[in-house]
Amino acid sequence: MKELYDVIVVGSGAGGGTSAYVLTQAGLKVLMLEAGREYDPVRETPMFQTPSQAPLHGAPTPDKSGGFYDATVDGGHQIPEEPYAIADDSPVKFRWWRARMLGGRTNHWGRFSIRFGPYDFKPRRRDGLGVDWPISYEDLAPWYDKVERFIGVAGANEGLENTPVSPPGVLLPPFPFRAREYFLQRGLESMGISVAAAHLAILTQPHNGRPPCLYATPCLRGCSIGANFQSTTMLIPQARATGNLNVRTNALVYQVDLGKRGLASGVSFVDRKTGAHHSVRGKSVVLAASTVETARILLNSCTSAFPDGLANESGEVGRNLTDTIMVHTVGQFPALEKLGPRNDDGASIFHMYVPWWGYQSQARKQLDFPRGYHIEPHGKYTMPEMSEMGQYAEDCRAPYGAAFREEMRRKYGSYIYLSGRGEMIPNEKTFVDLHPTLKDKWGIPAPRFHWQWGESELQQAAHQQRTYLEIIDRLGGRFVPEQSVGVDTPLPTGVHETGTARMGFADKDSVVNQYGQSWSVKNLFVMDGSVFASHPRSPTLTIIALAWRNSEYLVDQARRRNL
């Protein structure tokens, strides 16, 4: 391919999609490379299909491990042609989730869109652990505002500690709390814990020509009416409409190519369908392939000038890998059996969440772990699913017959899942590198995970569990260990990996500067979650805000011919 693009963007998800949108709006010619296939939510989302219309009534299988109707295409925890390894001495068997589709994980994610707060950008200054970001909350706030306005985020401003408020008129009206969420709110407030409206990238009113939510289909299926955020409805079509975007799918990038004066000249990729190799040329390169994929590309791009991988003079590429600490605890609440049927679908996800309430306790040294977590509670009359109903059956005391049916009916809707999302501190033992011998179908070295939870993570997980048990007890509930995960069972992984190309103040201990720009290869940018210097909570809104800000910087630098 002979053409010289202004920018090659690798990846089409939260970071890649945003970058392509901003760059093409500014008139730059962009080639976007996506490893998966073309995907169009408008045509492909199963909006009202029911479980019984699906094979196995929609139960998860190795082919669709998020359930049949989950939007993920050609993905999951295993992609047969694209293996990954776990290091022999790794105590944790990290399970890595990938999608191979245009728009990446923005197609099936939960749409929870929360800002990082001022504390989160200067964590080392606060407790001496990890590193600070080279930017403050105030530096990024204008782009949080811009992104919330653009994609439409429903929520409210409670002004709780380290929970920023959006400017007036930016947030759309919040989703009202559900009955079970009201029940939980009262219990939490009696324990001195405040709740907040969830910030969701789902429309509660018409916005920029898009219709509001229909309060029905689970968002993990995607949305054919564009009422929630996904790259394939919000960013890529709009970028294409400028006439400045070319998209090539089934293109698995494995290397950034270097040209004269040590600058990036483009990338090389393999066509996943034909196996043919291609190289494309760009004046700049943006890597947004997702945290582990981006690290893999950098590590695989070795030259004599960069023997340890491109842009890796600090040695930090692949390092500082983190994921969210998640403990799920389930309670069954007899009090909730008193409620009658109602349509509870709403936004499919929780309308209420519990921001971290422990800052003051930490300041008083009353907690045995740093940072914190928020709680995502799930409790409602959900559309019955195979695995959920099977678990309820296991929880019935009546063995069969009319009494069994009565017990299922009585207990349906009386379960609440308390699910935590906590901050992990980067550690020396948790990183990704390239396996020395294992390769994918096309001969590209496979990533190898090294993963260990530190003491702080395990202490925090224990606190999550204790807290959830206390909440369940407070509300007269019964803990259901068989459905709970993360304390006596391994902590789940593969939700929010970040950190492998972290930003920093200088090249000695970071991979990129505050603009996601490589210290040593100034026309090479990183715009996915790999740039995070810390990982306090759900990363998506921050990935988009950073990609927006940093793409504007790229445009500015290109115009000044600084790249």
Residues 407 to 436: which contact other proteins by CB under 8 A?
408-409, 412-413
Of 285, 219, 234, 276, nearest to 252 (Cα)? 276
Interface with other proteins by CB under 8 A: which range of 113-121, 389-397, 435-443, 488-496? 389-397
Residue 338 interacting with other proteins (CB under 8 A): yes
Ranges within 464-483 binding other proteins (CB under 8 A): 474-476
- Which H/E stretch holds residue 391? helix 386-394
Note whether 54 binds other proteins by CB under 8 A: yes
42 binding other proteins? (CB under 8 A): no
> Quick one: which of 98, 105, 178, 535 contacts other proteins (CB under 8 A)?
178
- Encoded tokens for 128: 């001496």
Stretch of 123-131, 172-180, 229-237, 313-321 contacting other proteins, by CB under 8 A: 172-180
Cα separation, 41 vs 102, in Å, equals 10
Region class of 413: left (phi > 0), else alpha (psi between -120 and 50), else beta = left
8 Å CB contact between 454 and 90? no
Residues 87-106 that bind other proteins (CB under 8 A): none
In the complex, minimum distance from the CB of residue 130 to other proteins, in angstroms, rounded to a whole number = 37
Q: Does 209 bind other proteins (CB under 8 A)?
A: no
Q: Does 400 bind other proteins (CB under 8 A)?
A: yes
Residues in the chain: 563
Return the residues of window 499-538 that contact other proteins according to CB under 8 A. Answer: none
Instruction: For the CB of residue 94, give the shortest distance to other proteins in the complex, in Å.
Output: 21
Of 548, 25, 86, which Cα lies nearest the Cα of 288? 548
Contacts (Cβ under 8 Å, ≥6 apart) of 257: 264, 265, 266, 267, 268, 279, 301
Distance from first CA to last CA of the chain, Å, rounded? 22
Cβ proximity to other proteins, 131 vs 203, nearer residue: 203
Among 57, 122, 146, 149, binds other proteins (CB under 8 A): 57
**Cα angle vertex 515, ends 125, 145, to 5°?**
80
Stretch in the footprint of other proteins (CB under 8 A) among 52-60, 145-153, 487-495, 515-523: 52-60
Query: What string of H, E and C letters represents the secondary structure of 309-355?
Result: CCCCCCCCCCCCCECCECCEEEEECHHHHHCCCCCCCCCCCCCEEEC
List for the chain the helix, strand, coil content (%; round to 5).
30, 20, 50
* Angle between the N-to-C axes of helices 386-394 and 402-411, in degrees from 0 to 180, rounded to the nearest 10: 120
Q: Does 347 bind other proteins (CB under 8 A)?
A: yes
Q: Which of 156, 179, 263, 446 binds other proteins (CB under 8 A)?
A: 179
Provide the minimum distance between the beta carbon of 324 and other proteins in the complex, in angstroms, as a whole number: 25
Asked if 317 and 309 count as a contact pair (C-beta separation under 8 A), the reply is yes
Confirm or reject binding of residue 158 to other proteins (CB under 8 A). no
Reduce the DSSP state of residue 375 to 3 states and report it. strand
Q: Is 59 in the site for other proteins (CB under 8 A)?
A: yes
- Measured from the CB atom, the residue of 9 and 154 that comes closer to other proteins is 154
Buried/exposed 278-295: b ≥16 CB within 10 Å, e otherwise: bebbbbbbbbbbbbbbbb
Please give the residues from 219 up to 238 whose contact with other proteins meets the rule CB under 8 A: 221
Distance CA 463, CA 373 (A): 10
Q: Which span (58-66, 121-129, 285-293, 530-538) binds other proteins, by CB under 8 A?
A: 58-66
Tell me whether residue 150 or residue 392 sits nearer to other proteins (CB atom): 392
Task: Using CB under 8 A, pick the residue from 382, 452, 459, 520 that binds other proteins.
Answer: 382
Write down the least CB distance from residue 100 to other proteins, Å: 8
Angle between helices 179-190 and 455-474 (to 10 degrees): 110
Per rule CB under 8 A, is residue 192 in the interface with other proteins?
Answer: no
Return the C-alpha torsion angle 291, 14, 146, 28, nearest 10: 100
Q: Tell which one of 345, 507, 509, 552 touches other proteins (CB under 8 A).
A: 345
Least separation in angstroms between CB 41 and other proteins: 11
User: Could you tell me which stretch among 232-240, 274-282, 339-347, 500-508 binds other proteins (CB under 8 A)?
Assistant: 339-347
Any idea which residue has 């999550």 for tokens? 464
Please report whether residue 83 would count as binding other proteins according to CB under 8 A. no
Q: Which of 187/422 has CB closer to other proteins? A: 187
b/e sequence 72-82, b meaning 16+ C-beta within 10 Å: bbbbbeebeeb
- Asked if 488 interacts with other proteins (CB under 8 A), we say no
Give min distance, CB of 104 to other proteins, in A: 15
